[in-house]
Structure 1
Amino acid sequence: MKNSGTRTRSTWRLAGFLLVLVAALGAQAQPPSSKLPGRQPDSKEPWGAFLGKAAHEAIGSAYRVQNPSNVVFLNTVDLYRIVARGKLGDPERLPELVRRLRPDITDTDALMLFELKPDNEESREKGRAEAGRYLAALNEAVEPGKKLTGGTGFEGSLFLEFENGGALWQLSWRTPEPGVTLYRWSYRRKKPGASWKERAAQKAEELPREEIEQRGELAGQAIRAAHEGGERPKGFQGQVYLPADCR
């Protein structure tokens, strides 16, 4: 019995050690988290995820501006509510497993759907698969004559200028295949005294990490205010040029 108790304690100590080791290795494997102004200090959101959220919001707003008379649902609304609110059919026909899925942009007047992804081949393939899954689920539930397809012809660009001649950010998007819209963030270096259009013609570069850290939160707030017609966020001294300004 004594030997059995000793083995049990040893087993528990080993299990505890392994749990701590796995946790430590998992923490090291996590992507770097952004430390943006106004965010919680313990936030674990990766850089790419933060910029992705800002892009989704901006591109979704741009689609609504371009299609003001259409009923458009963004990725805060799930398939069940899209079918119900869009008057497409019977949402109860949707399988339980897919009812809570949320496509990025669904236009229930144009009967089109878009999935937004970063502009690279891996993300493009993922977007194609997700758009296909959403369309298959929706089209099982909608009425005849209301089948949805992958959206096409959606592209655009917007710029953020920080101070006069300061850093210039660009968010651009394109739809190279039905239902898949790819976006890209890019950057132009400072050029005091030059107009934003002159600087937009400069060579596009990858958005530097220090720029994201310094201005990322402000950029998202500024784009939102520009689309909604609200006040500029505190600390933003530049301009936002929406797609209509860039044509």
Structure 2
Amino acid sequence: MKNSGTRMRSTLGLAGFLLVLMAALGAQAEPPSSKLPGRKPDSKEPWGAFLGKAAHFAIGRAYRVQHPSRVVFLDTVDLYRIVEKGKLGDPERLPELVRLLRPDITDTYALVLFELKPDNEESRGEGREQAGRYLAALNKAVEPDKKLVGGTGFEGSLFLEFENGGALWQLSWRTPEPGVTLYRWSYRRKKPHASWKERAAQKEEELPREEIEQRGELAEQAIRAAYDGGEWPKGFQGQVYLPVDCR
């Protein structure tokens, strides 16, 4: 009985150790949580998620602004509704497993599709694979004369100026291959008494982590306000220069 009790305590002790170890490793793997205003204190969303959401929102809206007369679906609309509402064919021909997939930009007038990804080789490969999957699924359901292809020639940029003369952020995007649009964020240092266009001509730098942590959520909110015409987020004392301003 004594040996059995000892073995039981050892087993429990080992299990407890493993649980603690797993929790510690999990905590290291988790992205830092945001403590910016308006977010839940226990949120675990990574800082970079704000920039990804802001990029998808801005680039999708920029495409719509460039093509105001076209029927354009963004990433809130799934394949089933794209085929149905875009009058492309019979949505029931879509396999069940793909009906809820949501491409980033689908233009059912020009019959083109774009998948948005960060500008690096790994993400570019993922974008190519996803765009190919969406196109294959769609083209099995649409009419023969309404087959879609990967879009090309889509590029642009916008700038965020903080504190009317502070740091300048840039979001730029390009489409290096059909259906894959790559975006990147960059940074220009402060330059007192210079216009945003003069500062935009400065050396482009990688966006510092401390800038992302401090202003990531604010940047997303400001971009949404600029496109939707809503109220500027509290604490934002700068300007958003949309693609039309950057030409």
TM-score calculated relative to the size of structure 2: 0.92
1:234, distance to aligned residue in structure 2 (A): 2.3
Contact 1:37/1:214 (<8 A) preserved:
no
TM-score calculated relative to the size of structure 1: 0.92
1:218, distance to aligned residue in structure 2 (A): 1.6
With 117-126 and 41-50 compared, the bigger mean Cα shift is at 41-50
Contact 1:113/1:131 (<8 A) preserved:
yes
* Alpha-carbon distance between aligned partners in 2 of 1:151 and 1:35, rounded to the nearest angstrom: 39
Q: Deviations over 1:187-217 (max 9, x none)?
A: 1111111000000000011111121222222
Match of 1:233 in 2: 233
Contact 1:36/1:216 (<8 A) preserved:
no
Match of 1:143 in 2: 143
Q: Deviations over 1:10-64 (max 9, x none)?
A: 6566445434432332222223334333222211111222211111011111111
Change over 3 Å in CA distance of 1:85–1:5 after alignment to 2 = farther
Contact 1:158/1:172 (<8 A) preserved:
yes
* Alpha-carbon distance between aligned partners in 1 of 2:81 and 2:12, rounded to the nearest angstrom: 49
Q: Deviations over 1:105-150 (max 9, x none)?
A: 1111111110000001111011101110111111111111111100
Match of 2:36 in 1: 36
Count of residues in correspondence between the two structures? 247
Gaps of 5+ in 2: none
Gaps of 5+ in 1: none
With 29-38 and 104-113 compared, the bigger mean Cα shift is at 29-38
Matched, 1:91 2:91: yes
User: Among the aligned pairs, what percent are the same residue?
Assistant: 88
Match of 1:60 in 2: 60
Contact 2:131/2:180 (<8 A) preserved:
yes
Match of 1:202 in 2: 202
Contact 2:187/2:206 (<8 A) preserved:
yes
1:235, distance to aligned residue in structure 2 (A): 2.1
Change over 3 Å in CA distance of 1:234–1:33 after alignment to 2 = closer
